[in-house]
Amino acid sequence: MQTNIILSIAKKEIMDNIRNKWIILVSVMFALLTLVVSYFGSLASRGWQDLGFTISGMANLVTFLVPIIALMLAYATIIGEIERGSMNSLLSLSATRFEIIIGKFLGLAGVLCFTIFIGFGAAGLMIAANVSNVNYADYGIFIGATMLLGLVFLSVALFFSTIFNKRSTAMGGAIFLWFLFNIILPIVFIGLLATTIDITKFAQGNTIVVPDWYQALNLFNPTSVYSSLLTTSIGPVSSMSASSMIPAPSWYSSGLLIGVLLAWIIVFFALAVWRFQRKDI
Amino acid sequence: MTTQLVKCPTCKTTITVSGEPGEKIFLTCPQCNQKGAFTIPGEKSAKTMVTNSATIEVNGLTKSYNHFTAVNNVSFTVKKGEIFGFLGPNGAGKTTTIKSMLDLIHANTGTIKINGIDVRTHGKEAKKNVGYMPEKVAFYDNLTALQNLRFYAEIKHAPKEECIHLIEEFGLGDTGKKRVGKFSKGMVQRLGMARAILGNPSILILDEPSGGLDPRGVVLIRDKILEMKKKGTTIFVSSHILSEIQEICNRVGIINKGVLVAQDTVEGLSKKLNLKPQITVTIDSMSAKIENAVKKLLGVDSVKTQGNTLEIVCDGAMKAKVILAISTAGGNIQNLQTKEPSLEEVFMRYTEA
Ligand SMILES: Nc1ncnc2c1ncn2[C@@H]1O[C@H](COP(=O)(O)OP(=O)(O)OP(=O)(O)O)[C@@H](O)[C@H]1O
Ligand SMILES: [Mg+2]
């Protein structure tokens, strides 16, 4: 393994995405959304809300938006290059498949994290300048958790870009993934839950005891894990998404949730490497 | 390679012979045309055979796509410093073989060694000194020619200054800020050749390098190939332009329906197929005497006459004797054309259904 080859490939991915300019657009969009949520997000009062409030307002938006961006960045990174025909030359230059894929992952991860950092960071600073009690630590955790969520989707998308033989199918796969984790899984899990507990009690506003298996099941949905991670490390943040209507159980710890997100990243990256090694170019 | 001086047994002229130890060389004395054979002294060593003479060794290569066998048990060797032409009809399995040689696609069975290193187990080391031009040349469309080459130079550890020279050499010096996406097919093809020779590789693998090029481009690529050969580069080239292959290649391999049907020099293959040169002679007046004089000669296969023209198919060594026979029989030769057996004939014969 040669680090300079990996770095060259990572650098290439970064330059490509900077040239595409859409990454700048995404950063600006993140910043604007955050500011809008902070300023107009509260029905009770007009004006800037503190960062804690902003985080809770943003959490749901993030679970929708960040996966889209990660998927768009990575869904075609391998198959696109194979389809275009440039993978041939890259592989003939004694760059190994592993060097290529890790270089691409690092480059794209850099782009994604940079976008999140700049977008949310800029907005955070503007809000901090306008409110009195600023909790930078919580906001930092929010940015970090958001990056982790993004990397999970990046890793899954990277895997998808190695299993399909056409860019267009990979795109379909990426869209399906987004629906799976944001819509389908939460509904299925809630449906499963509804068959086992009396949901009417819940509708009446009573707190109910959620079985552990449901909480365990939710660990298989990275967007739920992300919401729970914000709850366990910052405090209750989300009041809207279906999966987080239910309070996180005591056995959820930040460490466990971070571990789960990291496991997602590692497992799918490993699967992507494995698939790419076997792929005919 | 050893070089030896030998004396002609009849006229004592000194002749230089070179070849591998143990190799038998056939000679004709330039002074008196005396024919003879000479064996280069020394043991034919197995080691030289592998490390010095074969830079690409493909052994029992088979590749199937699902249930279709595209390449079936193909074996060949490319010797150091030679140009090896790889021929075959469309869909014969040339590109599949080439991609397997670089482990871009994974062969089902077979071993591929480049400079003695197994490509499938030690790909990185094996491909270190290889330049490759794929059948479908592609670049990063949003980058310029120079930006593209610089990226490849970085990965190949080639000096970056080389990029600008190559771009000039391949007639792309005036493309400047133009993105490769806006290049014509021929321009992309030239840049592809530039990328292949970037970093001065010791082995070049070219898959139809002149596809889509104008005549000037074809000549440019051919000259580059010859220039690289002069530097000692071993070149493996697949092509459909048979005249060009015949002109530049030391040996050729012919693949048909996934099976390697021939591997030799063009002359060797012509000989195997018993293909002979054809001589067309025009004389001022035809007579039965002339025709018979030629027909009588040993080694003349056929004689056809048409007006004052004779079409003679004969052994290569008989050409001079045929001409002499015509003159002696009173034929006044006005025009003479000889056609050596062409690679095209060889190709057609080996790939017929
Ligand atoms: N990815 C693939 N999947 C299935 N079949 C394939 C694939 N690639 C090639 N083939 C088949 O393998 C056979 C050999 O193809 P290959 O591209 O090696 O031919 P070729 O000799 O390079 O032809 P050409 O002169 O047209 O370039 C063809 O029948 C082709 O259809
Ligand atoms: Mg081909």
DSSP B148-159: HHHHHHHHHT--
Max Cα separation, chain B? 74
Residue having the nearest C-alpha atom to atom 26 of ligand 1: B90
Q: Are A244 and A238 in contact (CB under 8 A)?
A: yes
Residue showing tokens 């002696």:
B328
DSSP B255-318: EETTEEEEEE-HHHHHHHTT---EEEEEESS--HHHHHHHHHSTTEEEEEEETTEEEEEE-GGG
pLDDT more than 90, % of chain B: 39
Element (H, E) at B336: strand B333-339
Q: In the beta sheet, which residues pair with residue B83?
A: B235
Most informative mutation of B96, B106, B133 for ligand 1 (most atoms within 8 A of CB): B96
* Residue A188, helix vs strand vs coil: helix
What average pLDDT does chain A have? 82
* pLDDT per residue as tens digits for the range A16-61: 888 877 778 888 888 888 888 777 765 555 566 666 667 777 777 8
Q: What is the CB neighbour count within 10 angstroms for residue B304?
A: 12
**Euclidean distance between CA atoms A270 and A206, whole angstroms:** 44
Position B212 scores a pLDDT of 80
Distance from CA of A113 to the nearest CA of B (A): 24
- Say which amino acid occupies B124: K
Q: Which residue has the higher pLDDT, B114 or A37?
A: B114
Question: What pLDDT band is residue A11 in, cutting at 50, 70 and 90?
Answer: very high
Position B41 scores a pLDDT of 72
* Separation in Å, CA B331 to CA B143, B294, B308: 68, 11, 10
ipTM exceeding 0.90? no
Q: Which residue has the higher pLDDT, B37 or A62?
A: A62
* Residue A4, helix vs strand vs coil: helix
**Euclidean distance between CA atoms B204 and B210, whole angstroms:** 14
Report the predicted TM-score, pTM, of the whole model to 2 decimal places.
0.81
Position A271 scores a pLDDT of 95
Q: Between the ranges B30-44, B88-102, B300-314, where is the mean pLDDT highest?
A: B88-102
* pLDDT for residue B51 is more than 50: no
* Residue B283, helix vs strand vs coil: strand
**Rounded mean pLDDT of B108-137?**
92
**Euclidean distance between CA atoms B162 and B169, whole angstroms:** 10
- Say which amino acid occupies A102: I
Element (H, E) at B3: strand B2-7
pLDDT more than 70, % of chain B: 93
With a Cβ cut-off of 6 Å, ligand 1 is lined by: B 65, 68, 70, 88, 90-96, 135
Whether residues B132 and A88 touch (CB distance < 8 A) is answered with yes
* Separation in Å, CA B267 to CA A175, B36, B234, B250, B260: 60, 19, 21, 10, 18
* pLDDT for residue B210 is more than 50: yes
Position B50 scores a pLDDT of 40
* pLDDT per residue as tens digits for the range A115-173: 889 888 888 888 777 777 777 788 888 889 999 999 999 999 999 999 998 888 888 88
- What are the DSSP E strand ranges found in A150-263? none
Q: Are B86 and B253 in contact (CB under 8 A)?
A: yes
* pLDDT for residue A7 is more than 90: yes
- Structure-block tokens of residue B83: 């140009």
Give the Å distance between the CA of B65 and the centre of ligand 1.
Answer: 9
**Euclidean distance between CA atoms A238 and B3, whole angstroms:** 85
Residue having the nearest C-alpha atom to atom 29 of ligand 1: B91
Position A43 scores a pLDDT of 54
Question: What pLDDT band is residue B176 in, cutting at 50, 70 and 90?
Answer: confident
Strands B24-28 vs B35-39: parallel, antiparallel or unpaired:
antiparallel
Evaluate the CA torsion angle A208, A213, A216, A222 in order and state its sign.
Answer: negative
Position A128 scores a pLDDT of 78
Least confident of A112-116, A128-132, B214-218: A128-132
* pLDDT per residue as tens digits for the range A178-193: 888 888 888 888 788 7
**Euclidean distance between CA atoms B144 and B253, whole angstroms:** 37
Least confident of B81-85, B140-144, B342-346: B342-346
Question: In which region does residue B119 sit, left (phi positive, over 0), alpha (psi from -120 to 50) or beta (all else)?
Answer: alpha
Neighbours of ion ligand 2 (CB under 5 A): B 94-95, 135
* Residue B94, helix vs strand vs coil: helix
* Residue B134, helix vs strand vs coil: coil
Question: In which region does residue B338 sit, left (phi positive, over 0), alpha (psi from -120 to 50) or beta (all else)?
Answer: beta
Residue having the nearest C-alpha atom to atom 16 of ligand 1: B93
Q: Which residue has the higher pLDDT, A249 or A260?
A: A260
Q: Between the ranges A64-73, B29-38, B89-98, where is the mean pLDDT highest?
A: B89-98
**Euclidean distance between CA atoms A170 and A244, whole angstroms:** 30
Q: Which residue has the higher pLDDT, B53 or B172?
A: B172
**Rounded mean pLDDT of B1-14?**
75
What average pLDDT does chain B have? 86
- Say which amino acid occupies B86: F
Strands B234-238 vs B83-87: parallel, antiparallel or unpaired:
parallel
- Say which amino acid occupies B72: N
Position A246 scores a pLDDT of 52
From A84, A93, A280, residue closest to B155, measured CB to CB: A93
Q: How many CA within 13 A on the CB side of residue A6?
A: 10
**Rounded mean pLDDT of A58-70?**
84
- Structure-block tokens of residue A5: 């080859």
* Separation in Å, CA A213 to CA A41, A196, B151: 34, 11, 51
